[in-house]
Structure 1
């Protein structure tokens, strides 16, 4: 499946769920989480994990998941409403279980009042 063709259905109107959906996709061995990124952020995410593209990065990360069930629920804890247009979510703060930490994400609110990942950087927790 070309993850970009179905991008609108993956982008969330709730900021923290955007990162949760990425963790869930990686837990399930799916590249659909790449649809959550802007093209530039997808390239940065891949580069940060030494992969040629986002799909390869998600496949590589999936092999490091030790508990798909725990990993898939990462990032579901926050019920905060964020009123700005840009925010960051740190994997160190959401503490993924059962797999690798994915780093710090910058999220940008889109014109459709949805959130996409507009930036990524590795971080050590």
Structure 2
């Protein structure tokens, strides 16, 4: 019961803080929110591309009748779904989508930190 009470009070505090933050216009925060939304969109696209890669590779292995490869691809796909880490054999283009998304959001946060320090 105390955990539920703590969780409820924590959620209430977060809602109160976000409501008060919305009252004060903050252009730096707006930039961060946009960068985060863009990051989430790009990350979803990268995940979709990686999932398609696994599906195509698994389909090719099924056509060949290579059960061992099918099982390995399923296992790698499940591991990717849990950790977002791609195996070494995944093409560089799929990996670069993740790298670029991470770099963009890191740059946005670095710029925001510099802007906050200046102000």
TM-score category, normalised to shorter length: under 0.3
> Higher RCO, 1 or 2 (CA under 8 Å, sep at least 6)?
2
TM-score, with length taken from structure 2: 0.26
TM-score, with length taken from structure 1: 0.25
Bigger Cα Rg? 2
